[in-house]
Amino acid sequence: MGHAATNLAILGLQWGDEGKGKVVDLLSPHYRHVVRFQGGNNAGHTVVVDGQSIALHQVPSGALHPGCFLVVGSGVVLNLEVFQQEIDRLRDRGIDLTGRLLMSEKAHVILPHHIALDRWREMGSNPIGTTGRGIGPAYEMKTARMGVRLGDLLHPEQLRDRIHQGYEEVRIRIASTPQFPVELPSLDSIVDGLRQASAPFLPLIGDAQAHLHAAWRRGEPILFEGAQATLLDIDHGTYPFVTSSNCSLGGLFTGTGLPPQALDGVLGIAKAYTTRVGSGPMPSELQDAMGQPQRRGRPVVVPYSPLRLVRWPHHRPRLPHQRRGRPGHHEAGRAGRPGRGGPRHRLQGRGGSRFHQDPQLRPRLGRAAPRDHAHARLEDPHPGHHRPRPAAQGSPELPRRPHRDRRMPLGLPQHRAGPT
């Protein structure tokens, strides 16, 4: 038996907390590689195993499955101390990542002065409501070409020079506002701490882009795990109340180095109600008692900031019994008035169109209606016009399209028979 490799991206469609980690954990056994391509430890996924919850901020959620190779892409910003804590927690629960973890040499590192700058900004008059973990300043230093990449850790003698310029800018900013006191470690302590924290990860740093390209050419299935969600995207979200990375589909390609041809499908995750952490507009926020249980209940988000906003989606989904059409469309049909948009052919003694009333004639999944209408007793308000012709005797039956199981999750590798 063989199967067609399908590379799938899991993305959030709202402001996060949609349950992406659960879906990634469910689909991971079908994939050889699980890739995290953007974000930092401001996001995370909670996975429940044997009644115990495991919070993963930076380690891909496929870590729980021994057959998955984990890749941290170049679009991620890493706090190495937090990353080590996650690996230790997984090891304590019997989950070993030895030999199946690769960290991109192009990924940037979150440093203590990034965290200090993030907290200093939140003390000002226009706080955004960030998690205060230094993710925004780390991306800012990356864009300003003052960041430190994982590949720089392989040359410890150059770390001080790489850190110095960004550190001085942060020190000057914080010193200019003594009314907002923020503790800033010394440059020497930051350099020494980074050397110590990076020692266990040096063997894991490599060329993640080349690894993923080789896996794609071999036809190995790849699962891409998105963090945050579309409405928090730095370009396409509710700016300025957004995160600092591209957490929509475009961030996948810049955060991995793969071309769009490498992706076969996208699975968007949403939930019936919407929550978000931090500040930002929410036009349909629930201020009544209905929204309170989500605020007071057990936190459902991995970051430690509590839920603030709860609302219904702006677009209510159409219920199965609701019909399409403009207002008054069906009332005109029931009154038997012909015209544009109103059903012409009515079943005798009933209201509604013949396709809605007779289950034998109702089309399903967009297929054409049956051609044999001879058994239906029709009443035409315009005799001689638009009357359906009965099928000719002995006419061959039209071929049907092959059936597809629409319950199969999009992107799940479809098994097919092949040479053994």
| Residue matched to tokens 């190779």 | 69
Q: How far apart are CA 155 and CA 195, in angstroms?
A: 10
Of the listed 17, 25, 118, 152, which one is catalytic? Answer: 17
Beta bridge partners of 415: 3
161 annotated active-site: no
Q: How far apart are CA 2 and CA 214, in angstroms?
A: 20
Of the listed 30, 45, 108, 114, which one is catalytic? Answer: 45
| Structure tokens, 290 | 């209905």
CB within 8 Å of 10: residues ≥ 6 apart: 20, 23, 24, 27, 223, 224, 225, 226, 267, 269
CB within 8 Å of 397: residues ≥ 6 apart: none
Q: Which of 167, 274, 290 is nearest to 231 (CA)?
A: 274
CB within 8 Å of 49: residues ≥ 6 apart: 64, 93
Rg of the chain over Cα atoms, rounded to whole angstroms, equals: 28
Q: How far apart are CA 149 and CA 198, in angstroms?
A: 11
Q: How far apart are CA 273 and CA 18, in angstroms?
A: 9
Q: How far apart are CA 59 and CA 96, in angstroms?
A: 12
CB within 8 Å of 267: residues ≥ 6 apart: 8, 9, 10, 11, 23, 409, 410, 411
Q: How far apart are CA 204 and CA 256, in angstroms?
A: 17
Beta bridge partners of 8: 223, 265
Q: Which of 36, 73, 116 is nearest to 209 (CA)?
A: 73
- Cα 282 to Cα 14, 139, 277, 279, 308, distances in angstroms: 12, 26, 11, 9, 10
Angle CA 309–59–270, to nearest 5: 35
17 annotated active-site: yes
Active-site residue numbers?
17, 45
